[in-house]
Each structure stands twice: as C-alpha cells, then as structure tokens.
Amino acid sequence: MYFGACYYAEQWPEERWERDISLMREAGFNLVRLTEFAWNKIERSEGQFTFDWLDRLIEMFGSAGIQVILGTPTASPPKWIMDRHPDMYKRDMYGHVRGFGTRMHYCFNNADYPSYIRKLVGAMTERYKNNANVIGWQIDNEFGCVDTTWCYCDTCKAAFQGWLKRKYSTIDALNESWGTVVWNNMYNSFEEIETPKLTVYQLHNPGYQLDFRRFSSEAVCRFQDIQIGIIRSAAPHQKITHNMMGTFNEIDYYKLAKPLDISGLDVYANFPDNEPINPYTPALHHDMTRGFKQANYWVLEHQSGTPGAHILKVTPKPGELRRWTYQSIAHGADALLYFRWRTAVAGAEQHWHGILQHSGVPGRKYDEVRQVGAELAKLAPHLDGSIVCNQAAIIRCFDNDWVFDIQPHNPGYKYLRQVKNYHRYFIEKHTGVDVVSPTADFTKYNFIILPHLALVDDALADKIYRYVEIGGTVVMDFRAGAKLPDNRMRSEVLPGPFKKLLGIEIDDYGIIPEGESQQLQFLDGKGVSSAGYASSIWYDVVDNKTAEVVAEFTSDYFAECPAVTCNAYGKGKAYYIATELDASARTRLLDRICKETGALPEWNVDHPLVEVTVRRREEQNIYFVLNHSNDLVSFTPPTGSVNLFTDEPLATEVELEPNGVLVFSNSLV
C-alpha cells in the first residue's frame, strides 16, 4: 500500500525540504509525486538540463524510506517554447487563442511539440531509469480536464481531415454516413471540412460532431503514447500511469488506460459537480477508474483540504479526510497521494488547500493524516493482493455518453445522470458493482445494466444476445437501439436490433418536461398492482409482444402502456425501462433483479448513508464500513469478525460514530 502526497519542492526553499521530509516520514509516507509542473526548473532553456536539485531531493526521500513517482511536466510547456511556436496554442470554437498563463494550453496535434517532449522526457528517463527510489511515472496531468481536449486550430483541421480520409476513404462515403444531404451540407472533398466551430443555430450534424469527439480523444491517446514509448523503451521495469478524472467524458478513458500499467484517479469528494457533497459521486469515480483496466488503481491526487481556486469549496470537517481516504482504499486503490503537501502561497491554486496550511505548520489535518498512516501500516499486510469482486456491472459507453452530450433529448439531460441513478442503488444497498467497458467480459457477471445504449453496432448487439441466451440478465432503458454507429437514426421500429431480445416494439415516445412527472404502478403478475411511483425525463409508448409487464404508466395518453418489461430469452432475461424511474421505483425493480440473480450483499447495515465495501484476498474478506451520516449507527457484524485496526474480536453489536470508519475481517487466513 503506497501512501503519501504530491510535493512541489520547486515552490519552496531547499532549506525547507528536510523539515518536510521529516514530517512525511512521521506521517507514515512511503511515496511522493514530484515534477509534473517543474519543466523550467529542469530545463530553463533548450537543452540545458539541471538535475542536481532533483538528484538531491530524490536521495533525501530515499534516505527517509520514501519512494518517488515522477510526473512528466508536459502539461505546461514553458513560455520559451510557446513564443517560438505560437501555433502550438489551442484555439476555441470561436477561433480565439487560448493563451499562456495557466496549463494545458498546447494543441495535442501540433507537430513541433513532440520534439521538445522527446528531449525532456528522454533526459529524465535516462537520468532516473536505474534509480531505486523512482518506482514510476505519471504522464502529463489530467488529460480531459475542463474543456482541454478539443482544439479548433488549423493544425487540428488538417489532422481531422486526414483522420476522416483514413476512416471513410471517399468523400461520398462520408456524405452518406453523416447524411449531409440534409440542409445541403454535402462536401466535395475532405479539404472542405472544418472543425465544428461556432455556426448559425449553434448546431452541427450529429455524425460530424461524434467523429470530431472520437478524433480528439484518439489525438490525446496518441500524444500519451509518445511518452509511454520513451519511458518504456528505457525503463520497462518502472510503472507508468496517468491521473484520470473518473466521470469526465472528453476522452475515452478505456482507450487512454489500455497502454498504461495502472489506472490513476484524481478525486475531490468535497468538490462534486453541481450537486451537494455526497458519498455516491466519489464512489462512482472510484468504481469507474477500477473499471478502466478492470484492476486496482492508484489515487494520484486525493483531497486533503479545502478545494478552490478563485473561490473556496466546503472545508473537510475533522474525520472527513480519513473517511474519504478509506472510501478510496475500499474501492480498490493500492496507492493514495494527497493533494497537496503544503498549500501554495502564490499562483492560481493558492486557495486549493493541502495537508499543511500556507504557514507550513502541522495542524489538525496533519494529525489526521498521521493517524491514517499508522492505521495503514497495520492494514497493509491484509490489503496486499486483495481485489474488489462484484456480481453486477454497469456498462459505461463513451460513444453513447457523447451522443447524449450532442443531443441531450431533454434540455440539460446527461447520459451520466442515469448511470449515477443505477450506481447509487448499489451503494445504498451495500452491494458492490463494477463500471466497465462494452468490450468487457459480460459472463463474469450475474447481470449487467446498459444505460442509454442508443448507439450500438452489430457486434455488441450480438454479444448481448449471447450473454442473455446462456443465462445472463440485462437491463436496458429508453433509446436503446435507436442509432447506428455513425450516429444516424435507425430506420426500423424501435428498439431496433433488440426487438426480439426485449419482446417489445415502441410506437411513440416523448420527453417529460423538467419539473413534471408521470405516474406508474407495479404489477405482481396476478393482477394486483402497487401504485404511488413516478417517472420523469422520457416515456416510450411500448407495444408489448412477448414480455411480462412489470410496471405500467397510469396517466396521460399512454396510460396502461408498459413502463417496465421483462422478456425471457434463452436461459436468461432482458428487462426494459421505458422512462427514468424515481428512486423508490428503481429500488423496487433492482431489488427484484438482485434477488433473481443472486447479486445480493453478503452482509448489510440498515442505513443508506453507511457504505459497506469488500476487498477479497484468497479466503479473507476485508470489510470497510464508512458512516457518511450524522447518526450513531448500530449493526451486527458477521460471526467471528476481527477489527483490523486493533486485532481484537468485534462484539456481537457494534456502534459506529458519525464520520466513523471500521475495517474488519471474518477470516485471518
């Protein structure tokens, strides 16, 4: 178990380093991340490398028993490079230059930048490839963070044209795929195609927009591959990772993660997207990151203080940092680095707080981190080799995430809203769930949920059919099968390729405006109904053919039409949800499916804000119980359980205080 922080030594006097390292050692640190924004400190002018300061720093950490991840500092190319190559700057959809002063200001497709990267990263790798204190590398920093993927410059235009030519071969094939006959948008050559800049109505052809997103995502992957190739050729024994952003969707993280040795995550629990602080959003980030490679992962930045730049977010209260830390570990993190060690006194992030305040004086956060360090020293032997194993999976598809960004159907709607709805059920029910790619092995799971599978190709449709035929259970929902892989609508009755699997046809559909709802009731198969449930966002008017009607609408012109169906197919079952169910309806339905498929928790706590997660190691189950509530919660642990913090047997009845954490096992094999 790696444990430590991100350290920006270049921001502090060298005389301070020894004090910081001493405090880190006392806190139980064994790993730090360095240099991801230190380009000028290493190469102030071209080819003039200065490593003596970094040599001393790494040696000091090594002497303290603390190892190092080096970040390649390519997220912020220095001004001397940008002045030579002003065409390296990104341009936005309005044609404006996104200039110097922050970071991620470079274009991924620029032809000049890689030569500087090869010199810098090559020199760093050559210098530290045999340094026993350097265990790995983080490539760049936070690809896909906050509109940093899409660039509309002339270089990207030419690269996009080349990408399209390789994909479609002929301009006629592209015109057919995009349907450019609509609005007289046909092209006579690939050279006529622009990047999707601002236009009248602020609309673009959906196929065109989807291809630009695919192209842009692949450009980032190619950019990352340059650095991976440099490092791997010189230092194949050192791990390579990148700090991804969980639910962020500018890049297909499955493809970005594929060549990495291990997935990485930056997580800030007190900084959720436009929603109250809650345990479900960071849990989803963790489960998604574990799913990028279907393996344990590293948290390369973990909130340690108040997040914020020009404004501040909510300050973590005493005990929250410890609780969020254990949530990360519970979901499969094998390394955890706090961001940051000390709060910066200058720059854009001087209000993004670290373990130490601006003063550098240890306070309550440091004491909390030191407590966690001591606890992890005891837990490490149990965690070593342990993994998260689940019986259910949610399939996150980046193509469909992009499809709903391009055409949200209902104003403001997001693909991830439905993903979050399903995922929250599992957290509240203390039942683990994986979040994986459409290319994952479905047969590992008792049942899978495929949110908003609008865009689907024949291979994936066949894979879903085969999975159900051999006994799997799938859950699909509205818009399933509506689109071809090029983002055109299918010219067949919905749900398109899934009509036989789901046993239904869809005659009509529409949105349910924001703030409105439709009523529905569940049927028990014996003519007895249970009303009082509601739905929102969307409705399908379902014509049932062979399926069981699980629930039906009770209002509007589609009253008595199915809202939820279940169709037997082969040895398995295929459920269809024709709307967005409210929380109570969603719980009732997924309770039924979990019971049918055996995807039930091994052990439970009767409180929705108490999270129960399990890591497994051979015959040992390691239970993490996290009290995210303000309540004192009582529960009965499994027989024979042992508190791994104290090595003492648990009582038959345990009380967990608000903000409390308990880690125990019912086996000490």
Instruction: Give the residue numbers annotated as catalytic, written as ranges.
Output: 142, 301
Exposed/middle/buried for residue 571 (C-beta within 10 Å: 0-12, 13-18, 19+): exposed
| First CA to last CA distance, the chain | 19
Count of residues for the chain? 669
Instruction: Check: CB of residue 594 under 8 Å from CB of residue 429.
Output: yes
- Spatial separation of the C-alpha atoms in residues 321 and 124, rounded to whole Å: 34
Gap between the Cα atoms of 157 and 300, Å rounded? 34
CA nearest neighbour of 608 among 572, 584, 585: 584
Helix ranges, 71-153 (H):
79-84, 113-128
**In angstroms, how far is CA 611 from the centroid of its own chain?**
19
Q: Check if the beta carbon of residue 104 is closer than 8 Å to that of residue 145.
A: yes
- What letter represents residue 55's amino acid? D
Strands, E assignment, 72-199: 90-91, 97-98, 134-138
Which tokens is 76 given?
């912020």
Radius of gyration of the chain (CA): 26
Rounded distance between C-alpha atoms, residue 534 and residue 553, angstroms:
9
Nearest to 249 by CA among 144, 150, 151, 404: 144
Pick from 77, 136, 138, 142: nearest CA to 110 = 77
The amino acid at residue 145 is: C
Measured CA to CA in angstroms, residue 1 lies from 388, 465, 548 at distances of 15, 41, 49
**Which amino acid type is present at position 320?**
E
CA 76 – CA 90 distance, rounded (Å): 12
* C-alpha–C-alpha distance, residues 315 and 613, integer Å: 25
The helix or strand, by DSSP H or E, that contains position 168, with its residue range, turns out to be helix 154-168
- As a 3-state breakdown, the chain gives helix, strand, coil percent values, each rounded to 5, of 35, 25, 40
Q: How many CB atoms lie within 10 A of CB 498?
A: 23
Are 552 and 561 in contact, with CB atoms under 8 Å apart?
yes
The token pair that represents 67 in the structure block: 């190892």
CB-count exposure of residue 167 (10 Å: 0-12, 13-18, 19+): middle
Residue 40 — left, alpha, or beta (φ > 0 → left; ψ -120 to 50 → alpha)? alpha
Which residues is 338 bridged to in the sheet?
5, 302
Question: Checking DSSP bridges between strand 90-91 and strand 297-303, what pairing results, if any?
Answer: unpaired
